[in-house]
Amino acid sequence: MWYRFQYRYAPYLFVAPFIISFLIFGFYPIVRSIWLSFHLTAGPETSVFVGLDNYTVLLADTDFHKAVRNTVIFAFFSVFLQLPLSLGLAMLLNSRLILGRAFFRLGFFSPHLLGMVFVAILFAVVFAPRFGLLNVLLSHLGAPIERDWLGTPELVMPALVLTALWLYVGFNMVYFLAALQAVDRDLYDAAKVDGAGPWGQFLHVTLPGIKHVTVFVVVLSTIGSFQLFELPYLMLNNGPGPDQAGLTVVMYLYQNGFVTGDLGYASAIGWVLVLGVMCLAIFQLVLGGTLRRNP
């Protein structure tokens, strides 16, 4: 009797702490931010209903346009430069001819151990003029050692992309490597029997074999790069940088919500971000055929 009673009600008890705190600190804030985005606020206490005003102002806000452009450029390079490099590196490391693969994997992964915040601090110094590591290295190739990467608007985005490459190529490589190792090696032999060259093997064996992981990594990278904040904010001395070249959507949200104190406007920025990210992610999932498998 007690046993049946327990078995029946135990799962509710088990999920309760998680679900209750999820509803309070996950679900409620999301719903609440929709409500907030229709209000004009000053600080956490006062708010006036203004309908869609926040959104109409936002769509005409040139600073916001700049933030969106910067964020999209960064996300583009994350997906189309960083991920192919990760895949290439993973394929190199997956070769049976390479000795010490665990060592290489650990080495390439190691930047991730520093973590985003500390990488941002480190690279603020790496990009410093005169003695910064990058300029010193480039000066051996004849480049000027005085170049101020983070003080020149045109060089800010390349600096951010380069930092993200250093931080994430090895991280995403781990995913690709795990996927490649799960591909049945016999398929390659079969493809060779059918006369497929290296390129044919890549197209017909490797790519289909790692498709799910690729979709997963692409979606994660997209969502992650649209949340770009710490790297530019910390590398550019707690701000958007020269000519706002490092202003991102989340940085603009932070500035409006917590420097200016307009939580309503910040929530509207947040929801434009959510809608953009959701559309892209769903588009990618449909393109990757992931949604069809699990309706």
Restricting to residues 203-262, name those near other proteins by CB under 8 A. 212-213, 216-217, 223, 226-227, 229-230, 234, 237-238, 250, 253-254, 257-258
* Binder among 64, 77, 123, 168 for other proteins (CB under 8 A): 123
- The only residue of 83, 86, 175, 205 in contact with other proteins, by rule CB under 8 A: 175
- Do residues 290 and 76 make contact, with C-beta atoms less than 8 angstroms apart? no
Closest contact distance (angstroms) between CB of 40 and other proteins is 13
Specify the residue, 73 or 138, whose C-beta has the smaller distance to other proteins.
138
- For 138-165, letters b (16+ CB in 10 Å) and e give eeeeeeeeebebbbbeebbbebbbbbbb
3-state SS of 106-134? HHHHCHHHHCHHHHHHHHHHHCCCCCCHH
CB-neighbour burial class of residue 263 (10 A; exposed 0-12, middle 13-18, buried 19+): buried
Site for other proteins in 7-36 (CB under 8 A): 7, 10-12, 14-15, 17-19, 21-22, 25-30, 32-33, 36
Instruction: Please report whether residue 101 would count as binding other proteins according to CB under 8 A.
Output: yes
- Cα–Cα distance for residue pair 56/186, rounded to 1 Å: 58
| Using rule CB under 8 A, residue 174 touches other proteins | yes
User: Does the CA dihedral 133-138-140-144 come out positive or negative?
Assistant: negative
The answer to whether 192 contacts other proteins (rule: CB under 8 A) is: yes
Hey, which residues between 45 and 84 contact other proteins (CB under 8 A)? none
Bridge partners of residue 41, in order along the sequence: 47
Cβ closer to other proteins: 113 or 207? 113
Size of the site for other proteins (CB under 8 A): 98
First to last CA, the chain: 39
Q: Which range in 50-58, 70-78, 106-114, 153-161 contacts other proteins by CB under 8 A?
A: 106-114
Considering the complex, what minimum distance in angstroms separates the CB of residue 257 from other proteins?
5
CB atoms within 10 A of CB 87: 25
Q: In this structure, are strands 46-49 and 39-42 parallel, antiparallel, or unpaired? A: antiparallel
Out of 117, 286, 287, 291, the residue judged to bind other proteins by CB under 8 A: 117
